[in-house]
Structure 1
Amino acid sequence: MNLDLKAKAVLVTGGSKGIGQGIAYAFLSEGAKVGILGRHLEDLKAAKKEGMEIFQGDVTDAKDRERVMKEFLDTFGAIDVLVNNAGGSNGSSVMETSMNQFEEAMHLNFLSAVDFSKKAAAIMKGNSDGGAIINISSIFGRESGGKPTYNASKAAMISFTKSFGDEMIKENIRVNGVAPGSILHNTGNWKKRLEQDPDKINSFVEEHISAGRFGTVEEVANVVVFLASKKASWVIGSTLNVDGGQSYSNF
């Protein structure tokens, strides 16, 4: 399918590894111009492919966000697609997790994406074709299963996606999200757990994932590039589960 993304300028945060890297490569395969943002220069250099630019920075740092957006615009001249993928997990149970850790999770998984979204949308307003913003949340933004800090911040992301999607479609900017389930990749926690205790993890897959296997970064990336394209023109403010049937939520 031709998604008509050729020459579109795409910024992927957390794009040097895992799901973010897969998303960046998927846009490259569609002929887009891609920039990836990450904290570690070595990882960015290792992920870089032809047609891709790298931007080093910490998404939780407001000055870095401002600088990276300026550098991206200086490089590509516009921004057509923003993918807010950067994120992580911290803490344990609610009572054993400090307030600082809750605040850190909100800044990393949610507030940084809000700021990038606002910055990108302000520029996309001037695009003849508008733009697309894709927020990567999690099925655990809708139900329990992850750490409380992660669940709360990803739930906020899903809610923000709906609110901002309804607001920005009036400017021809579509805001949507993807909620992955358990995705297996070389730099992820599931890979480590599988190596440490294969019997336990294989039992988890059999019991909790209807499709009977882990998902791949490519399967998440395929949905992201679709949502960024005009083929998804009537999808507004939605967060789509990409989880092989893992989620228990019925909405």
Structure 2
Amino acid sequence: MDLRLNGKHVLITGGSKGIGKGIAKAFLAEGASVAIAARGEESLQAAKQELGDVAIYQADLTKEEERERFFHTYIRDYGNIDILINNAGGSNGSSALETDMELFHQAMELNYFSAVHLSKLAVNEMKKQGSGSIINITSIFGRESGGKVTYNNAKAALISFTKSLADEVIPFGIRVNSVAPGSILHPTGNWQKRLDENPEKIKQFVKDEIPAGRFGTVDEVANVAVFLASDQASWVVGASVNVDGGQSRMNF
């Protein structure tokens, strides 16, 4: 299938590792012009060395002023944005009662407010050209209970925001959707760390919790994100798409 993404300007947050880097690789394979943003300069340089023709932007996406700075620098460099992938995220804390309020605030800034803010900035640019696509990388644990409470809360909020923004901006030719991965195994992720620490426990988790019988891969998430961002998904608006090998327990 020709996704017609050649030359499209794509910006991916959290793009130096894991799912974000996989998404960058998939867009590059489609001929897109790809830029990635992340907090760590070292990881960005390593990703650039691995991926090749990508632009890199260092920014702490938990800080509003840095989001503004890096986004406007990107627009100055490229002139416009066709596709925004909000992938920056992470989990912290433990149970609700044992997690300090500061960690709740941090989780919302990283997982939720960064995506909200950058989406608003991107929409302002996309309106000028009458087209665009925004993909928010969420989690099955934003669609149902599970995971750490701060992460669950923030991803649930982002899924809700996705639908609200999608309905608001589709009249301008801008589509907004989200991808909700299940348990994805990659070298820099939490599941790899847990697998290394206790392989028997994690093998039992996979057997008990994932009907497909294995972890998902970064490429399997990336392929869905790239499709949703393309015009081939032109009638998909405000959706939250599970990519989880049957792991989630919801009926929809």
TM-score, normalised to structure 1, is 0.98
Partner of 2:82: 80
Superposition deviation, residue 121 in structure 1: 0.4
Q: Which consecutive residues of structure 2, in runs of 5 or more, have no partner in the other structure?
A: none
**How far apart in 2 are the matches of 1:36 and 1:24?**
7
The amino acid across from 1:105 in the alignment is A
Q: CA deviation at 1:50?
A: 2.8
The aligned residue for residue 35 of structure 1 is 35
Instruction: Measure the CA separation in 2 of the matches of 1:26 and 1:175.
Output: 19
Structure 1, unpaired ranges of 5+ = none
Give 2:199's aligned residue: 198
Corresponding residue for residue 159 of structure 1: 160
Q: Return the offset for 1:194.
A: 0.6
Report how far residue 51 of structure 1 moved: 2.3
Q: Aligned partners of 1:50 and 1:216: how far apart in 2? A: 21
CA distance in 2, matches of 1:125, 1:30: 24
Segments of 4+ moved more than 4 angstroms: none
| CA drift at 1:55 | 0.1
When the two structures are superposed, what TM-score results if normalisation uses the length of structure 2? 0.98
Q: Confirm or deny that 1:26 pairs with 2:26.
A: yes
Q: Distance in 2 between matches of 1:77 and 1:30?
A: 20
Equivalent residue for 1:132? 133
Deviations, residues 134-161 of structure 1 (Å, cap 9, x unaligned): 0000000011220000000000000000
* Residue 229 of structure 2: aligned partner: 228
**Distance in structure 2 (CA, Å) of the matches to 1:101 and 1:138:** 19
Which deviates more from structure 2 when the two are superposed, residues 67-76 or residues 114-123?
67-76
C-alpha distance in 1 between matches for 2:60 and 2:26: 23
From 61, 67, 70, give the equivalent of 1:68.
70
SS in 2 for 1:126: helix
Which AA in structure 2 matches 1:241?
Answer: N
Measured in 1, the distance between the counterparts of 2:211 and 2:232 equals 28
Identity %: 62
Counterpart mapping for 1:1-251 below 5 A: 1-48=1-48, 49-128=51-130, 130-251=131-252
